[in-house]
Structure 1
Amino acid sequence: MKTFKLVGLEIERKVMQNKKFEELPLEGGLIINREDGENRWLIEALLDKQYLELFEPLLQQHTEIHLLATISKKANVPAKIFGNVKSITVLEEHISILIDGKIGRGSSIEEAESILGGLLSKGLEGDTLLKEFKTELHRRKKNVRNTSV
């Protein structure tokens, strides 16, 4: 298993007829790659107690949730995760949420490979390739929050 710092977490919420990601202000968090061959990850997020009312029904009803988890650095493209709340621990001022999930289709590595393949097929190379690759990554990072998982 490999453990990484969780630096950003967003949860998909239904607002009217649309689904939108809401950023959860983390007090701290970890994300663990189980390295089990099934692409399963454990997320522990430390949140303000106000989020207890959001997560308790999800735990009790075993509802699958869709998340965007940013790992290690805020500049990284968030990973799309489908998971379930496994436990909630109430602390003095915070709650600790444990989520078991899988990285969804279009994980950052697969997405980067797809972008690079497309740019190479256009015949781009050198500095032009690098510039277009970075531009496309940043464009997709912005768009991932505006679309449903």
Structure 2
Amino acid sequence: MKTFKLYSISLLEGKDGNVHQKMIPIEDGLIINMENKQQTWYIEAVISHDYYDYFKKVKEQEGHMLVDVIITSKDNHPAAMITSVQTLTKLSESVSVLLEAKLALKKDVIIEDVLKDLVGQGFSEEQLLLEFKNKMENLAAHPQGALKTIYRSIVESGQYKLQ
């Protein structure tokens, strides 16, 4: 088991054929990789009371959310995860939400999507390498194409009830 500081979390919501990111400001949080066969992760985030009703509704409907998390530092690449609400606890000035999660988008898929985009733009070999390196260093979010693909595949799988 490995534990990391949760730097940020955002909801990824499908609307109008695109996937939109909605940042959820966190006061504190952590993420745990259980390192088990099921590849389970747990995310605990301390958030504003403003989000209590949203997470309560998701839990009551036994729904799922696609989220993007960044671990430890803003400079790290995001990880897309499919989550479900396990517990929701009101604290004196905030709310603690515990999510069970599985990786929804592997880093290899992101790299492949970035590369396809650059090849499609017609860069020469040298330009391609420079642009690829630059994009990967500055990747603060998943490419829109990768998010659309993963969102669509989650919906089509029928395994999850996205909210």
Q: TM-score, normalised by structure 1?
A: 0.78
1:136 is the counterpart of 2:135: yes
Letter in 2 for 1:6: L
Structure with the higher strand share, 1 or 2: 1
Letter in 2 for 1:35: E
User: Where do 1:45-124 residues align within 5 Å?
Assistant: 45-105=45-105, 107-108=106-107, 110-111=108-109, 114=112
Q: 1:19 to 1:87 in 2, by over 3 A?
A: same
The residue matched to 1:57 in structure 2 has which SS? helix
Is contact 1:115–1:136 with CA below 8 Å preserved after alignment?
no
Hey, what's the Cα distance between the residues in 2 that align with 1:145 and 1:87?
A: 31
User: Where do 1:34-49 residues align within 5 Å?
Assistant: 34-49=34-49
**Aligned-residue offset at 1:76:** 1.0
Hey, what's the Cα distance between the residues in 1 that align with 2:15 and 2:63?
A: 17
**Which residue number corresponds to residue 33 of structure 2?**
33
- CA-atom RMSD in angstroms: 3.1
**Aligned-residue offset at 1:117:** 9.0
Q: TM-score, normalised by structure 2?
A: 0.72
Is contact 2:12–2:65 with CA below 8 Å preserved after alignment?
yes
- Point out where structure 2 has 5 or more consecutive residues left out of the alignment: 119-124, 152-163
**Which residue number corresponds to residue 122 of structure 2?**
none
**Aligned-residue offset at 1:142:** 4.0
**Aligned-residue offset at 1:140:** 4.9
Identity of aligned residues (%): 29
Letter in 1 for 2:133: K
Is contact 2:47–2:94 with CA below 8 Å preserved after alignment?
yes
The residue matched to 2:47 in structure 1 has which SS? strand
Is contact 1:115–1:133 with CA below 8 Å preserved after alignment?
no
**Which residue number corresponds to residue 12 of structure 1?**
12
